[in-house]
Amino acid sequence: MIWDLVIQPFADFGFMRRALLGCVAISVGATPVGVFLMLRRMSLTGDAMAHAILPGAAVGYLISGLSLGAMTIGGLVAGMVVALLSGFVTRMTSLREDASLAAFYLISLALGVLIVSTRGSNVDLMHVLFGTVLALDDAALILLCSIASLSVLTLALFFRPLALECADPGFLRSVSRLSAVTHFTFLTLVVLNLVGGFHALGTLMAVGIMILPAAAARFWAVGIGGLIATAIAVAMFASLTGLLLSYHYSLPSGPAIILVAGIAYGLSLILGPVGGLAARAFPRRHFEA
């Protein structure tokens, strides 16, 4: 029974193994970045940046078709340009950062869809927006694993300033020159992981595997290390379950993965011991001496 439901799809089909490996790489690389996005109250920034990469990927598609290299470079360039432009607008005008990101996000989404639609078909547009995790090739897997490795190494090197910036960014700016470097490095990691997730889950779904497991982990852990470990576990569970649902019930794989992550978030919201609804409704009694 367990063999037929869980193991056989991956034992019999190489595309399922490739999809699972790609999702594991995204879980290890992108989900910790999502934890820091959540702690820095920048979750919606991640969503905006996910759509910011679309016009660059679309230009790459316009030049070379569904080329991994061209779309990756285009997405990276577009994401970094939008990040820098939104920061410039925030510092040089009275517009808040969330408003400037929202403006660039809407422009980028419309421009990217327009570019893809001028040359490609509806199938190509769906590929760009929702990804094709079941069609990952060797080059895509190498890219995803490389981004995951770079993300883990960078987060390990910048862990302390990132954690301090989450708690008190003003203090970090006052005691260290690493504040600007840390912020720019973190935004680079966000863009890198969104570009990697874009190849598997598309621009509309890539941010889901980054944010939803992190939000679910918030109801099970307190420390940053616990949050990261729990978020990665939730992301891997969502990836495995979503792929199996896609295989057994002919569902689109990317949305299935994100929906499972959303269900995990909903259950965590209700049952989580750290601020969940059940914990608040039925608090534990503490004995007093």
pLDDT digits (tens, 9 = 90+) for 70-109: 888 998 998 888 878 877 787 778 777 777 777 887 888 8
Which has the minimum average pLDDT: 112-126, 130-144, 246-260, 266-280?
112-126
On whether residue 240 sits in a domain, the answer given is yes
Q: Domain residues for 108?
A: 2-274
On whether residue 284 sits in a domain, the answer given is no
On whether residue 162 sits in a domain, the answer given is yes
Q: Tell me the pLDDT band of 286, cut-offs 50, 70 and 90.
A: low
Q: Tell me the pLDDT band of 139, cut-offs 50, 70 and 90.
A: very high
- What's the token pair of residue 190? 């966000």
The domain tally of the chain equals 1
pTM for this prediction: 0.89
On whether residue 129 sits in a domain, the answer given is yes
On whether residue 245 sits in a domain, the answer given is yes
DSSP 5: I
On whether residue 287 sits in a domain, the answer given is no
Question: What is the per-residue pLDDT for 285?
Answer: 64
On whether residue 279 sits in a domain, the answer given is no
Q: What is the mean pLDDT of residues 17-25?
A: 96
Question: CATH code at 178?
Answer: 1.10.3470.10
On whether residue 42 sits in a domain, the answer given is yes
Of the two residues 106 and 222, the one the predictor is more confident about is 222
Nearest to 97 by CA among 40, 146, 137, 15: 40
